Amino acid sequence: RFNFILLRENVGKRKAQIAAIRQSSGDLVLNVDSDSTLASDAVTKLALKMQDPGIGAAMGQLTASNRNDTWLTQLIDMEYWLACNEERAAQARFGAVMCCCGPCAMYRRSALLMLLDQYESQFFRGKPSDFGEDRHLTILMLKAGFRTEYVPDAMVATVVPDRMGPYLRQQLRWARSTFRDTLLALRLLPGLDRFITLDVVGQNLGPLLLAVAVLSGVWQVALTTTVPWWTIIMIASMTMIRCSVAALRARQLRFLAFSLHTPINLFLLLPL
């Protein structure tokens, strides 16, 4: 029941998507990354959500299929839970999920056909864009007046990096996409709910403010040889509050261990 489209050369995810969409005939298009496995009822649950004609795209909940491989994959699995059930779930309350992720996202084909030319012709620094497809396509949906949704019981398991090097490269790609497409979405924000605007601004200013706090602490140590206890206590307190809330909401004590992600964030992700 499947047609396989073999392109003559590797043209990247975006052009492969476009080739498939243009040859499709169904009302709905499902995007699944090659390293992802859907639950048997995931397509049904996404399709039920898409019965509303005002919805242009919907994504499912991500988990790490290799969660138990290393300490890092366990942290990433918790990171995915937080991204889906805090960030995406909150944005979905206002019908404006800002990024329907590639491992499992369903789109309305009629909406896609309206946007394909814009999607295909995106340039970044004078060159055709070759990253950030999921976020850019989601923002195009929102700009076209469609809602984007999150379906928490449409489960999909995806392979996550089990070593720090690949994880940091993945995070760099995602960060580039986030900052670039947030700039493209600035004109969109006034038309969305003010809480979405606050969320997007906070996501982008948060790392900058955290970097300023860390640098000021290092500066204090260098100039005065005193420990910046106030900065340390504040970051530790915010970490434990966030992890405790997640543990309570997920009813899983393992989320207290997500505090181990803070040093990775401070000393690896922020400089990156």
Residue 41's domain spans which residues? 13-206
pLDDT at 131 over 80: no
206's tokens: 């948060």
Does residue 259 lie within any of the structural domains? no
Does residue 6 lie within any of the structural domains? no
Does residue 2 lie within any of the structural domains? no
Alpha-carbon gap, residue 39 to 130, rounded angstroms: 29
Average pLDDT, the chain: 93
Half-sphere exposure of 127 (CA within 13 A, CB side): 4
Alpha-carbon gap, residue 154 to 152, rounded angstroms: 6
Alpha-carbon gap, residue 268 to 237, rounded angstroms: 20
For residue 121, name the pLDDT band (cuts at 50, 70, 90). confident
Q: For residue range 154-204, what is the model confidence (pLDDT) as tens digits?
A: 999 999 999 999 999 999 998 888 888 888 788 888 888 889 999 888 888
Does residue 88 lie within any of the structural domains? yes
The closest of 237, 239, 243 to 256, measured between CA atoms, is 243
Domain count, the chain: 1
Of the candidate ranges 122-136, 151-165, 223-237, the one whose mean pLDDT is the lowest: 122-136
For residue 166, what is the domain's CATH number?
3.90.550.10
Helices (H), the chain: 13-23, 42-49, 71-82, 89-92, 109-120, 133-143, 164-184, 194-224, 229-250, 261-264
- Report the percentage of the chain scoring pLDDT > 90: 76
**Taking residues 74-101, what's their average pLDDT?**
95
Sequence-separated (6 or more) residues with CB below 8 Å from residue 109: 21, 24, 26, 27, 28, 29
Q: Report the predicted TM-score, pTM, of the whole model to 2 decimal places.
A: 0.91
Sequence-separated (6 or more) residues with CB below 8 Å from residue 162: 66, 69, 70, 72, 73
Does residue 221 lie within any of the structural domains? no
Does residue 4 lie within any of the structural domains? no
Alpha-carbon gap, residue 178 to 136, rounded angstroms: 9
pLDDT at 10 over 80: yes
Strands 123-124, 127-128: pairing kind:
antiparallel
Alpha-carbon gap, residue 32 to 46, rounded angstroms: 13
Does residue 251 lie within any of the structural domains? no
Burial of 154: CB neighbours in 10 Å, binned 0-12, 13-18, 19+: buried
Does residue 68 lie within any of the structural domains? yes
